[in-house]
A and B are shown apart, each in its own frame.
Chain A
Amino acid sequence: MDSNFDFNWEAAFQSIPYLLKGIPFTLMISFGGLAIGFVIGMIFGLMRLSRAGWLRWPAIAYIEIFRGTPVLVQVLFIFYGLPQLLGGPINAVVAGIAAIAVNSGAYISEIVRGGVQSIERGQREAGLSLGLSRTQTFRYIIWPQGFRRMIPSLGNQGIISIKDTSLFAVIGVGELVRQGQIYIATTFRALEVYLMVALLYLAITLTLSLLLRLLERKGLVGQ
């Protein structure tokens, strides 16, 4: 080999339009999954905090199972395993969204629990002593404060889940990595294309970081 450094900028730029086709899938799977994961996280996070065992234990089991197994195994289970039970195939995008949902849901449950628990006991006592019901105390006093404290961790989880979708190339979803692989198969430009893939992930996650920083700054008024 006359040179082992033959980075071809032209090849890199040429791959971009093709790679961009993967972005809608990456975004759809990550944000779709995260939205559902947030709802799951709220429900299971609060169940986890319950004094009633029949609410708390299922939440603990869910969290441990989905936090303790790889998201790749989860999506393979959903995409290849579940059809055996359901008797029909599952759309790869749906399987991806489901995997992000149950996986991020487990982590978000713990974020919700931590956020709620971080609010000083005196806040709850002040609400109750004013005659607010337990539900009202939670809704107007605990949750708004707890949620603000959850924002950094939720952002962190968002970034992790966005990157996790890269694993879903294995079930054939046309997301960013999958698009890259297909492009490399015909051009053999792995170095250039994977660099572009990495930069596109970085563009997405940096945008999210920036939005979160704005949100955090706004959210911190009066704290």
Chain B
Amino acid sequence: MSDRTVDSTATPIVKMEKLNKNFGSLHVLKDVDLSVTPGEVVVIIGASGSGKSTLIRCINGLEEFQSGSLEVDGRRLEPDGRASKALQQIRTEVGMVFQQFNLFPHLTVRDNVTLAPRKVRNASTAEARRTADRLLDRVGIANQAEKYPSQLSGGQQQRVALARALAMEPRLMLFDEPTSALDPEMIGEVLDAMRELAREGMTMVIVTHEMTFAREVADRVIYIHQGEIVEEGAPEQVFDDPQHERTQSFLSRVLTH
């Protein structure tokens, strides 16, 4: 995107090398290498069950991996979930938006957004509230701050979830199929908020099935198949001129409807 620049010589914020992940005997991720530079927007595509969600969940330690090396924001994550100290520090710097929103149903919209800054960053109530109201305004739901999540539409809930993650001022944002649980008419409003964020230079790793969005917003697209990165490159390259046969057949299936 024209008004964003990615300095590819900068230290990567995510550095993943030969990462392997097993669920029991199932080999979910196979020797995955992934490097994300600050300011970059990386979109991961692939069929369901290909391991793409598992991959980004490894970045903030929601999934453990069994071998390989993973460094996030300069901190090493160890295999099998060891070194939880580094893990919590990483999580304060890495925000995540989930497919099912996962808002806290017992808290108001505003309290959803202020909880982590107050408890983790020790922000004062007034300060956290100011930040929350600014972010809620930015995602277009300032007038819903006193409501409970169940009183909002899916699209609004997902935008609250975005504001909640941004309130921690993350250096990296992970999106795990953020629009997959939404009614079609609400997908646009969430994608718009994400576009806006990308334009502002946020580093983002996005798992999505929205191919038009991916092409438009991504600096790099990664196609993953059965736990392996099969192809990666600029969106034009991957979408218009896929080199790998598997990528071609995947794209022909998802782009025709």
Contacts and interface: CB of A to CB of B under 8 A. Distances in A.
Interface residues of A, number: 21
A130 B108 contact: no
Interface stretch (B96-104, B194-202, B218-226): B96-104
Nearest to B98: A122
A132 to B, nearest CB: 6
Contacts of B103: 126
B234 interface: no
A126 B116 CA distance: 10
Given A129-B96, A131-B116, A222 B102 contact: no
Interface in A124-156: 125-133, 136, 140-141, 144-145, 148
A221 B165 CA distance: 24
Contacts of B107: 222
A122 B102 contact: yes
A131 B105 contact: no
Contact of A125 (B92, B102, B115, B168): B102
B contact residues, range:
20 to 34
A223 interface: yes
Contacts of A140: 115, 119
Nearest to B103: A126
A123 B108 CA distance: 15
B95 A129 contact: yes
Contacts of B165: 129-130
A126 B106 CA distance: 14
A166 B121 CA distance: 53
Given A136-B119, A221-B148, A130 B164 contact: yes
Contacts of B119: 132, 136, 140
Contacts of B215: none
B106 A131 contact: no
B100 A122 contact: yes
Nearest to B60: A129
Nearest to B161: A126
B88 A131 contact: yes
Given A122-B98, A123-B102, A123-B104, A130 B115 contact: yes
A140 B106 CA distance: 10
Contacts of B102: 120, 122-123, 125-126
A216 to B, nearest CB: 14
Main secondary structure of the interface of A (DSSP, over half): helix
Nearest to B107: A222
Interface string A196-223: 0000000000000000000000000111
B116 A223 contact: no
B148 A126 contact: no
A26 B192 CA distance: 63
A223 B103 CA distance: 11
B116 A222 contact: no
Contacts of A141: 104
Given A123-B104, A222-B105, A131 B168 contact: yes
A115 to B, nearest CB: 13
B209 interface: no
B120 interface: yes
Contacts of B96: 125-126, 129
Interface in B154-197: 161, 164-165, 168
A148 B106 contact: yes
Nearest to B89: A131
A125 B98 CA distance: 9
B237 interface: no
A136 B116 CA distance: 10
Interface in A155-179: none
Interface in A90-147: 120, 122-123, 125-133, 136, 140-141, 144-145
B131 to A, nearest CB: 14
Contacts of A128: 61-62, 91
Nearest to A123: B102
A130 B168 contact: yes
29 contacts: A120-B100, A123-B104, A125-B62, A125-B102, A128-B61, A128-B62, A129-B91, A129-B94, A129-B96, A130-B92, A130-B120, A130-B164, A130-B165, A131-B89, A131-B91, A131-B93, A131-B120, A131-B168, A132-B115, A140-B115, A141-B104, A144-B106, A145-B104, A145-B105, A145-B106, A221-B148, A222-B105, A223-B148, A223-B150
Interface of A: 120, 122-123, 125-133, 136, 140-141, 144-145, 148, 221-223
